[in-house]
Amino acid sequence: MKPAVITSLVLGTVLAVGAVFYLAPGPGVPPAATVAATLADPAGQFIEITAKDGYTPATTHARAGVPLALKITTDGTLDCSSSLRIPALGWAEHLAPTGTVAVPIPAQKAGTTLVGVCSMGMKSFKIIFD
Ligand SMILES: [Cu+2]
C-alpha cells in the first residue's frame, strides 16, 4: 500500500474509534440508538419509572432475554433521586429537574435483579428479570 493509503486508513480508524467513545454513554450501556431499535422491535419492551422523592414504581418485572428500554422521567425533581446510578451497567447521570432519559439495557438472564440507586444510596428501584 502507498503511504497515503495507510495514513488515511489509520486516520479513518482513529476517527471511527473516537466517535464510538464520544457517543458511548458509559461502559456496559449500548448507544442511544439501541433504545429506538428496542422500541421498534416487536419483542422489545420498555419500563417507565418516575424519579421524584424516590422512584416509582420501586419494583418492576421485565422479561428475561429481551432488550429493555428504561425510561426515567423527572417532573420538578429537586431531590437527590435526580442523581441516579445503575451500578451493574456502569451508568450514572444527573437528570434534569424535568425531562425523560432512556437507558438501553441489554437482554438480562432470568433471575437477574437490576438496581438503580440515588447518589446517596438512600432511594432505589429494582427491575426483576423473569
Ligand atoms: Cu438520595
At 28-69, the pLDDT tens digits run 566 667 777 777 777 789 999 999 999 999 999 999 999 999
Distance in angstroms (rounded) separating the CA atoms of residues 31 and 101:
13
pLDDT at position 43, please? 74
> What is the CA(89)–ligand 1 centre distance, in A?
19
Q: What's the whole-model pTM score? A: 0.73
The answer to the question of residue 112 being in a domain is yes
Q: For the beta carbon of residue 9, count every other beta carbon within 10 angstroms.
A: 11
The grid coordinates listed for 23 are: 457517543
Domain count for the chain? 1
**Does 105 map to a domain?**
yes
Name the burial class of residue 18, with classes exposed (0-12), middle (13-18) and buried (19+) by CB atoms within 10 angstroms of its CB.
Answer: exposed
CATH code, 87: 2.60.40.420
Residue 13 dihedral angles phi and psi, to the nearest 5°: -65, -45
pLDDT of residue 38: 76
Mean pLDDT to the nearest integer, 15-26: 44
pLDDT at residue 6 is higher than 60: no
Distance 117 CA to ligand 1 centre (A): 8
Distance 56 CA to ligand 1 centre (A): 14
